[in-house]
Amino acid sequence: MAKKKELIMKSDMMKYKGYRAAIGYDAEDKIFIGEVFGLADSLNFHGRSIEELENSFRDSIDNYLELCAKIGKEPQKEYSGSFNVRTTPEIHEKASEYAAENGISLNQVVTIAMMQLLGKETSTVKG
């Protein structure tokens, strides 16, 4: 009896020069599509094969960086390290109390919580 192969999804994202793109498939047009995320500018690309999709992604990033250099614009990066957190007033209060009791900032509390959720070391928290 033949052994059944398991389909394991490792990632549906592509990475290049610090930029990431979400990948999908358009069944109607029979093409792979991608969209670079984390930018105010819209960067989309496509390809009929994985190789074509990868080349198109790299080209879109290279063209974006070249255009930014040409017009004197600082290229956006996906993650600046700064974002707004919306939560309930009760959690905000408890987090603020925790910060005050432990002599740390509210930003550090949020960073520690995220690092614990992600299973990362929290001894190097800054900010």
What percent of the chain is predicted at pLDDT more than 90? 50
**Phi first, then psi: what are they for 16, rounded to 5°?**
-160, 125
Class (C level, CATH) for 13-71: alpha beta
Q: Where are the domains of the chain?
A: 13-71, 81-127
Query: Can you tell me the distance from the alpha carbon of 96 to that of 92, in angstroms, rounded to the nearest whole number?
Result: 6
Question: pLDDT digit string (tens) for 29-51?
Answer: 999 999 998 887 889 999 999 99
Low-confidence ranges of the chain (pLDDT < 70): 1-11, 78-80, 122-127
